[in-house]
Amino acid sequence: MSKVCQITGKRAISGNNVSHAHNKTKRKFYPNLFEKRFFIEGEQKWVKLKVSSAGLKLIDKKGVAAVIKEAKEKGFLKK
């Protein structure tokens, strides 16, 4: 199960854990993902998406249908 937002395309990035002694070890920063179901009124069906919290805010702002259309154009959503 990949940890990638289907709306914004956010994915895990790498960085460092830094100790008090300033020793560095590699780690990953994962996006804040949720698996949510959305109802598309134009098509009268439910769609299950893996979205980040930023993706949820975008859906609240623009609407599900518009955001899904943009995600398909950008290649984040493959359906």
Residue 78: the pLDDT is: 81
pLDDT at 77: 87
Given its phi and psi angles, is residue 22 left (phi above 0), alpha (psi -120 to 50 degrees) or beta? left
Q: 26-59 as b/e, with b when 16 or more CB fall inside 10 Å? A: eeeeebebeeeebeeeeeeeebebbbbeebbebb
pLDDT at 79 over 70: no
Tens-place pLDDT, residues 31-74: 999 999 999 998 999 999 999 999 999 999 999 999 999 999 99
Total domains present in the chain: 1
Q: What pLDDT sits at residue 13?
A: 97
Over residues 4-34, the pLDDT tens digits come to 999 999 999 999 999 999 999 999 999 999 9
Indicate which CATH number applies to the domain containing 43: 2.30.170.40
Residue 2 located in a structural domain: no
| Residue 39 maps to a domain | yes
Domain membership of residue 34 (yes or no) is: yes
- Domain hosting 69: range is 13-74
